[in-house]
Amino acid sequence: MVSPRIASAFWLIPLAVAVGFAARIVDSSNSRPANTSIPQSPDQQVKKEAIPEKDPSEAAALNSLQAEINALEERVKKREHVLAQRKKEQQPFTDASSLNHKGLDPEQWSNKGYATPYESVETLIFSAASGDLQTMKDSLVFSPESESLAKRLFEKLPNSVRQEQGNLETVMAMMTIDQVPLAHAQITAYKEITDEAKEVFMLFSSNLDSPYSVKLDLIQFPDTTWKVLVPPQAISEYAEKLGVNLENTNFE
């Protein structure tokens, strides 16, 4: 007969085998590298597309355009400082109701509103002298043709410029401000085209520059206010100054 001690030993054999097998499973699991992952199917794998490199010439053009816009912003900001300094140094003056007679210097221009063509003109050149972007935007209106060109120009600006400026009206106002000289101004002629359309001829002059003549087209809105019409050729000139080809240039 088998003694009780030997019998109990037989019961321990299966238990030892089970413990050993479990220990091997745990050891095998711990020995797997930490960065080992379950292979993904082709549908689950994310494919990284190669990012095309920018054409060096296109990148250079973009940088040049960005630099020109930045310089334009600085010139607009400096106008307010220049006008403020001139006003501080000038002697008291008698305000004039329009630019139609002896003309006015920049220190005497003011925001007259848009009730008459003369007042609209003075408001526009006041906003140019003082770098007032909002008033300049309020002073301008676009014909269908000029608006189409302006939109094309704005769309061809770099994304960074479009996001910074917000809309084409701001860019057009900046460009217009940059074109108005800080000089003595006088309306030299006035022509009625229709009851709702007028032409105003102006002369800018200073001791530093040759006389600068310009024609402004004004139109009257249903609320009877007058605004200055931005001609298509002005948009083309703005594009040329910025180095933007309205035909095929495309910045991303």
- Contact between 174 and 167 (Cβ < 8 Å): no
Q: How far apart are CA 63 and CA 54, in angstroms?
A: 12
The residue behind tokens 């906003």 is 127
φ/ψ bin of 93: left (φ > 0), alpha (ψ from -120 to 50), beta (otherwise): beta
CA end-to-end distance (rounded Å), the chain? 95
Predicted structure pTM score: 0.64
pLDDT at 54: 58
Q: Are 174 and 128 in contact (CB under 8 A)?
A: no
Residue 77's pLDDT is 74
pLDDT score for 46: 47
Per-residue confidence at 92, pLDDT binned at 50, 70, 90? Answer: very low
Comparison of pLDDT for 26 and 81, the residue scoring more: 81
Beta strands 226-230 and 140-142 are parallel
CATH of 59-91+102-242, one of 3.20.20.70, 3.10.450.50, 3.40.50.620, 3.30.530.20: 3.10.450.50
Choice between 158 and 37, residue whose per-residue pLDDT is larger: 158
Q: Give the closest residue to 199 by CA, choosing from 178, 182, 220.
A: 220
Which pair of tokens denotes residue 95?
Answer: 């305000």
Most confident of 81-95, 127-141, 173-187: 127-141
Q: How far from 209 is each of 11, 206, 236, CA to CA, in Å?
A: 114, 6, 24
Cα 209 to chain centroid, rounded: 31
Model confidence pLDDT, tens digit, residues 197-243: 999 999 888 766 778 899 999 999 999 999 999 999 999 998 988 88
Distance CA 125, CA 110 (A): 8
Question: What pLDDT does 68 receive?
Answer: 76
Contact 168, 150 (CB under 8 A): yes
Coil, strand, or helix at residue 168?
helix
